Structure 1
Amino acid sequence: MTINHRNILLNPGPVTLSERVRQALLREDLCHREPEFAQLMLDIKSRLVSVYPEAVGNYEAIVLTGSGTCAVEAMLSSLIPQSGKALIVTNGVYGERMAKMVKIHQKNLVVVTSPWEEPMNCDAVEQHLTQDSSFTHVVAVHHETTTGRLNDIAKLGEICRSRNVALLLDCVSSFGAENIQFSEWNLEACAATVNKCLHGVPGLSFVLTKKSVFESRYTAASSLYLDIYGYHQQQLEGYSPFTQSVQVSYALQEALKELEEEGGWQSRNELYKNRSQIIQNSLQSLGIRTLLNYADYSCVLKSYRLPPDYSYYDIHKQLKKHKFIIYAGQGGLEKTIFRIANMGNIYHSEIQELIQCFEKLFLAKAIKL
């Protein structure tokens, strides 16, 4: 199956697929209770952990049928004990969403909030942990796609490690493209999805969880479907307590092989950085400014200020005519920014075509810095 019309997705997932991954969706039908699927799942679990060699041997990938949000909620609801206490660090939509999850599951929490355009408040985190020894977990977002900020998890992780407080991390928009230091950050678990930096198909997500957690304490889950302990028990043999997405699993296996052959997460990081720099240079020459300082961004996504006399709708509409799909701002940033992600199977020639579209769009009016 070859797709003649090719959309270039510059939104933060799902991504433009390679033909190789797309073809994997056409493999034979298979029951998720058959041993062939169990072998497929065991291979996927091994490859997911191996994306970061430091995780091999100490972490297990728990694979769920659901979006990245599914994995994040499964991680939080299963691992924060009812008798525990979580310190949620937020500076965007996705940190705030995790705070809502913890509240819904009726776990004890304190929220340290920063404005969306600012870094996490690590000083406040340190103060809370110093004054209150009852915190069992710190919860944060690695790459906050609200703005594109790559949060300083090295600093946060150092605070957690020095106080022996476990870190739970939303890596939904960073896993497979940014560095993750499992030991240095005192990482108990991280949640991610397959349809962003891994270039898979939407429908599966996962939680890389420290194996010792399953051995040392019982589940804290307040949900049947989201209980990662239940998945852990059956996935040791490659099975799952509920129906898994078979075709999406085929595609994920192929996407992971593709990542390995291309040089792993480091290679993908460089690829994204190069794409991002080309786009940024072009927009900067047209007078379009980034929302954050350049050094604050992840390689995965950048946010740009809407120029005078342009709405997001104007820009989106014109780019979509040429098959490019960009992304709007969220919440209070909805009318002030647009976002461009760098993920997926995108050719250099297509990035050049995007730049030409920007030039035609913005040179029509004199945009000044």
Structure 2
Amino acid sequence: MLLLIPGPVQTRPEVRAAMAVDIAPWDRDFFPEYIAIREKLRDVAGGVAGQHACLPLQGAGHFITEAAIRSFIPPQGQPGAGRLLIPMNGAYAERMARLAREAGRAVVTLPCPDTRGVTPAEIALALAADPAISHVGVVYSETGSGIVNDVPAIGAVVREHGRRMIVDAVSAFGALPFDLKAQPEVDAVVFTSNKCIEGLPGLGFAICPVERVEQAAGQAGSWSFDLADVYATAQRAGWGSFRFTPPVQALHAFGIALDIFLAEGGQPARLARYRENCRILYEGGRALGLKPYLDWKQQGPIIALFHQPEHPGFGLQRFVDALKRRGVLISNFHNTVEPTFRIGCIGHVGPDEIRFALGAMRGALDELGVRRRDAA
């Protein structure tokens, strides 16, 4: 089965095979492997040894995002409490806002359509209008629609206004460029094991400036979601130690996937492959009569969306089932206001797999009675 969703992604056989071992996470023989993963990820993020730390956390991307919000933004009523500005141009921005509110943090929303990235000028106006905003929370790659927010450009504005930033790079890290050395305004860039590094689910990571982590001690309001405590544990017990029992097999497999990522050429090579995947899918979908959700100039490389055909024979689940019978599995839901379907361009896939998927899409549409003139 060809898995074309924006995560978990299609993985290589050797990554899956790495799960088939029993490992004690507290075994000192495992410590060097875990330390190496942390150091390699710090380097991929443009971090510097001694200045930046990789802070892992068990769970989904929502967990590590919440941990960053809790750790770096004090709750309302406490000294230093600020407000979190979030450009609302997708489902994952909405989720970030909910995580922050339910953690007792004040949120300022910046309305923006989910068909384009927020502009630095829009961020600048919002920051100038509200001095109480201490942080900007931005989703780098919005998998709800496929857009990309320009994190380096937004960061420059945030830096100019003397504010801080939290970057949700869950669907971006490893593909879209990011450099902590060039973005000192960033408190945390967060991501997971099962997206563009092409590992398996179970782990989130935050790469953070050490100085900021040390200042964050005691303000998370949660033991589980306290990045300062993750850092303190590493300081006390060593960088090969985990606070609580980790998904250690997923961590071991992630180390294999990370080595493959680096051997492939790292972020530039991964981005080039995903961009080509997306181009073939975008153009191939149009050739089938499908209408892309985004203009090409707004289309990110991670996931492509198409409007659902206005045809009585088309139903999203029926389309998903027809594709599955042809060996392709896509998401059976959408996060856009208008009905769409989405197809991931990431994972251990290349142009041949995308062309195979387009053939399956043609067959599925034919099965549902949707002709090209109906789909457009």
Describe the SS at the equivalent of 1:284: helix
TM-aligned CA distance change 1:362 to 1:64, over 3 Å: same
| Residues 1:66 and 2:59 are matched in the alignment | yes
Structure-2 separation of matches of 1:149 and 1:332? 12
Maintained 8 Å contact 2:216/2:228:
no
User: Is the aligned partner of 1:212 residue 2:217?
Assistant: no
Q: How far apart, in 2, do the equivalents of 1:155 and 1:348 lie?
A: 31
Q: Contact 2:116–2:148 at 8 Å: present in 1 too?
A: no
- Tell me, yes or no, if structure 1 residue 354 matches structure 2 residue 357: yes
For each residue in 1:15-62, what CA deviation from the matched residue of structure 2 results, as whole angstroms up to 9, or x when unmatched?
1110110111123x222222123222211101111223x223332111
In the alignment, the residues of structure 2 paired with residue 215 and residue 156 of structure 1 have an alpha-carbon distance, to the nearest angstrom, of 25
Residue of structure 1 in register with 2:174 after alignment: 176
Taking every aligned residue pair, what percent have the same amino acid on both sides? 26
Q: Indicate the residue corresponding to 1:327 in structure 2.
A: 331
User: Shift in Å at residue 211 of structure 1?
Assistant: 1.5
- Offset at residue 120 of structure 1 (A): 2.4
What's the offset of the Cα at 1:93?
A: 1.0
**In the TM superposition, what is the alpha-carbon distance from 1:118 to its structure 2 partner?**
4.2
- Report 1:118-197 matches (<5 A): 118-120=116-118, 122-185=120-183, 186-197=185-196
Change (3 A) 1:118 1:281: closer
Q: Which residue of 1 aligns with 2:372?
A: 367
Whole-Å separation in 2 of the counterparts to 1:348 and 1:126: 40
Cα pair 2:323 2:360 within 8 Å, conserved: yes
Q: Structure 2 unaligned runs (5+)? A: 76-80
Question: Is the 8 Å Cα contact of residues 157 and 184 (structure 1) preserved in structure 2?
Answer: no
The one of 21, 32, 43 equivalent to 1:50 is 43
Contact 1:307-1:367 within 8 A present in 2 as well: no
Give the aligned partner of residue 25 of structure 1. 19
Matches for 1:204-283 after TM superposition, within 5 Å:
204-236=203-235, 237=238, 238-283=240-285
Report the number of matched residues. 360
Per-residue deviation, 1:264: 0.3
Matches of 2:214 and 2:371, distance apart in 1:
63
Q: Which residue of 2 aligns with 1:342?
A: 345
- Farther-moved stretch of structure 1 (344-353 vs 158-167): 344-353
Q: CA deviation at 1:240?
A: 1.9
Q: How far apart are residue 275 of structure 1 and its match? A: 1.1
Distance 1:349 1:297 in 2: 21
2:83–2:133: 8 Å Cα contact kept in structure 1?
A: yes
- In the alignment, residue 325 of structure 2 is paired with which amino acid? K
Q: For 1:330 and 1:348, locate their aligned partners in 2 and report how far apart those are by CA, in whole Å.
A: 24
What TM-score comes out, normalization by structure 2 length? 0.90
SS at match of 1:106: coil
Contact 2:42–2:54 (CA<8 Å) still a contact in 1? yes
Provide closer, same or farther for how the CA distance between residues 252 and 113 of structure 1 changes in structure 2, counting only shifts above 3 A. same
Aligned-residue CA RMSD in angstroms?
Answer: 1.9
- CA distance 1:124–1:277, change in 2 (3 Å): closer
The alignment's TM-score, normalised by the length of structure 1, stands at 0.92
Which residue in the other structure is 1:3 paired with? none
> Which residue does 1:318 correspond to in 2?
322
